[in-house]
Structure 1
Amino acid sequence: MYAAVLLFALMCWTATTRADHHQPCRSTNMTGVMSVLAVRNQVKALAPYTYDATNKKLRFQSNSSNPWNATLELDLLVFFEEGILYKIDSKNQSCEKKALQATYHPFALPSNAVFQSRLVFGSASIEGEGLKADIWSIPTPDLKGQSIMSLSMGCIPLSLMHVAEDSMLIFSNMNVEQEIKDPDLLAVPSFCQGLPVEETPEGTVYGFMTEFM
């Protein structure tokens, strides 16, 4: 599986595009479900999320008791614009407040993305069966890797694969609705307010994706 996925990544990275007019698009507000798989160490998360594309805020809540047998329990509130991530423990009414050195994440296409190709998932010959997707490569030197993102024609992220020296993460986006159903999820809980920002160990770069590596 690892080899097959890596081969797909390399094919995308080495593809040449004749459509250099493509510009990175901007995703909309979203509520949906995101799955995360770390291929080598089998870390899994399956979580509902709420994403504010305008203010660049995200709530991601994974529970290990879900039917997918996830191995991670994570409640993350991320303010990408401010460069802050809250790791929330509602049960114990506690919180960690961390600084983001890497603000890259799988819910939006960054401005440095490079268009590679347009693919059809499924059958292009059967009406209503094929899903067109644009494939973009994304350099992420701060996370020591490369990423490949697929987006629908409506600029909804479908999947993202991040390959680094010693890890591979696959994010899949499902059951997407283009709205924020519960804005309160994007507010800092009262027990998290006023906390100091934790220092990042020297020589390391912390980002949203670091929680899954």
Structure 2
Amino acid sequence: MFAAVTLFVLMCLTATTHADHHQPCHTPNMTGFMTLMTLKGEIRAFGAFTYDSTGRKLRFRSNESHPTNTSLGLDLLMLYDEGIFYEIDSKNQSCEKKALQCTQHPLDIPDDAKFLATINSGSPSIEGEGIKINVWTGRMRGSKGYYAMSVTMGCLPISTLYFSEPTSYLISNTDVELEIKDPDLLVVPSFCLGQPLEETPEGTVNSFLNEFM
């Protein structure tokens, strides 16, 4: 796994494509599955996501039945325009409401991202055996790390590498569909309404990625 990531990074760093005419795109509405794992191969979470690109809302529910005892069981509703998110426990009808210090997440390219290169994954000469990918890079907000995001030419995110200390992560998306299948997933549950905003400890940066660190 680490060797594959290293090879991918080297391909990006040695690419010669120029970025003069490239501007970050923004992803459409999506439903799919997301896997978050460390570069050592430890799966931190696997689950379904629903993303509203216009309302800037993200729901992620990890699959507790995933066959690994290292996968975190989380149900997150991120409301980026409001700068808050909820950790939801549907079983016990409870939730925690927290402030978002960082709105960066793996389903959209940040406006300040830098275009690195366009690469061909697989074989570009054989129909159905290759895909052209744009790679965007930048600094992780609120930390000294950086990221490399791979998206299709239609702006669908395939994977994002987050390089940070003490652990680096790979987030990959699969079975993506361009629709919001269940809009109710993006509505704050009734038992969360009126929940007070928890205080954020000094030095803590709440973000989607930090929930898995």
TM-score, normalized by length of structure 2?
0.92
Q: Is contact 2:43–2:68 with CA below 8 Å preserved after alignment? A: no
Q: How many pairs align? A: 213
Cα distance in 2 between the residues matched to 1:176 and 1:112: 25
Q: Deviations over 1:113-168 (max 9, x none)?
A: 00000011111121221111100002114133100000001100000010102111
Q: Is contact 1:40–1:167 with CA below 8 Å preserved after alignment? A: no
Residue of structure 2 equivalent to 1:47: 47
Cα distance in 2 between the residues matched to 1:14 and 1:119: 11
Cα distance in 2 between the residues matched to 1:19 and 1:122: 23
* Stretch moving more, 16-25 or 106-115: 16-25
Cα distance in 1 between the residues matched to 2:84 and 2:19: 36
Q: Which ranges of structure 2 fall in alignment gaps of 5 or more residues? A: none
Amino acid in the other structure paired with 2:34: M
Cα distance in 1 between the residues matched to 2:193 and 2:102: 23
Residue of structure 1 equivalent to 2:26: 26
Residue of structure 2 equivalent to 1:184: 184
Q: Is contact 2:160–2:172 with CA below 8 Å preserved after alignment? A: yes
Provide the secondary structure at the position in 2 that maps to 1:162.
Answer: strand
Amino acid in the other structure paired with 1:211: E
Q: Which ranges of structure 1 fall in alignment gaps of 5 or more residues? A: none
Provide the secondary structure at the position in 2 that maps to 1:167.
Answer: coil
Q: Which runs of 4+ in 1 moved over 6 A?
A: none
Q: Is contact 1:29–1:178 with CA below 8 Å preserved after alignment? A: yes
Amino acid in the other structure paired with 1:59: R
Q: Describe how 1:1-213 pairs up with structure 2 within 5 A.
A: 1-2=1-2, 4-6=4-6, 8-9=8-9, 12=12, 17-40=17-40, 42-67=42-67, 71-213=71-213
Identity rate, percent? 56
In the TM superposition, what is the alpha-carbon distance from 1:43 to its structure 2 partner?
A: 4.0
Amino acid in the other structure paired with 2:134: D
* Stretch moving more, 35-44 or 103-112: 35-44
Q: Deviations over 1:27-75 (max 9, x none)?
A: 0000111111023482421111110000100110012213566621110
Q: Deviations over 1:161-208 (max 9, x none)?
A: 101021111111111110111100000001111111111111221111
Amino acid in the other structure paired with 1:206: N
CA RMSD, Structure 1 to Structure 2 (Å): 1.9
Provide the secondary structure at the position in 1 that maps to 2:142.
Answer: helix
In the TM superposition, what is the alpha-carbon distance from 1:16 to its structure 2 partner?
A: 5.4
Provide the secondary structure at the position in 1 that maps to 2:185.
Answer: helix
Give the 3 Å change call, closer, same or farther, for CA 5–24 of structure 1 in structure 2: same
Cα distance in 1 between the residues matched to 2:32 and 2:166: 29
